[in-house]
Structure 1
Amino acid sequence: MDTWENEARAALLQRRSSLRGLLRETLVEAEGLRNKRAADPVDESVEARAEAVLERLSEREQRELKDIDDALVRIAQGHFGHCARCGGAIGRHRLRAIPEARHCMACSEELRR
Structure 2
Amino acid sequence: MRVTLVRRRDALRKALAGDLSLLRELHQQKTGDPLDAAADTVQDELNSQLVEVESRELTAIEEAIEKFDAGTYGNCEDCGKPIPLNRLRAIPYASDCIDCRRAAERGTDSSSAAVPWNRIFDMSEADTV
Same fold (TM over 0.5): yes
| TM value normalised by structure 2 | 0.79
Counterparts of 1:65 and 1:87, CA distance in 2: 23
Q: How far apart in 2 are the matches of 1:38 and 1:77?
A: 50
Count of residues paired in the alignment: 106
% identical aligned pairs: 34
* 1:46-89: CA deviation from partner (whole Å, max 9, x where unpaired): 00110111100000100000000000011011111110000001
2:48 & 2:97 partners in 1: Cα distance? Answer: 31
Does residue 86 (structure 1) correspond to residue 71 (structure 2)? The answer is: no
Which of 42, 58, 62 in structure 2 is aligned with 1:49?
Answer: 42
**Is there any run of 5+ residues in structure 2 with no aligned partner, and where?**
107-129
1:61 paired to 2:21 = no
Equivalent residue for 2:101? 108
Higher normalized helix content (fraction of residues): 1
Q: Which amino acid aligns with 1:90?
A: I
Structure 1's unaligned 5+ residue stretches are: 1-7
Q: Which runs of 4+ in 1 moved over 4 A?
A: none
CA shift, 1:17, in A, is 0.8
Alignment-derived partner of residue 63 in structure 2: 70
TM-score (norm 1): 0.90
